[in-house]
Amino acid sequence: METAAHRWMLTAPTAPMVREAFDPAPLPGEVVVEVAYNEIQRSPHYSSGFALRFARITRIRDDKDPQQATTLADLRALYDRQFLSKSRRDP
């Protein structure tokens, strides 16, 4: 089923998506995507203070509204939790 998010991703100009390494790729606010990643790292390059290592969009979440997306508080909790199974902690 094609939605507005699908249409935007298929028709959006690709030039804005090819950006500097520390520039986020823009998405319309109504698009919710699922992102897989290797780990969450602290990063001084982003205002959130975090970066996703080896991040990749795995699917568009048509079943979710932007209000249901992961928040920065959720991301901080995920960051802390990932060290429960690791023997190190980033400074």
- The residue that leads in pLDDT, 8 or 74, is 74
**pLDDT of 1 over the 90 cut:** no
Tell me what pLDDT residue 38 has. 92
The CA–CA distances, whole Å, from 66 to 6, 14, 32, 37, 69 equal 15, 23, 6, 20, 5
For domain 28-91, the CATH superfamily is: Nucleic acid-binding proteins (2.40.50.140)
Q: Cβ(45)–Cβ(16) under 8 Å?
A: no
Whether the CA torsion 16, 18, 23, 29 is positive or negative: it is positive
Q: pLDDT by residue (tens digit) across 28-56?
A: 667 788 899 999 999 998 888 999 999 88
Tell me which of 74 and 7 has the higher pLDDT. Answer: 74
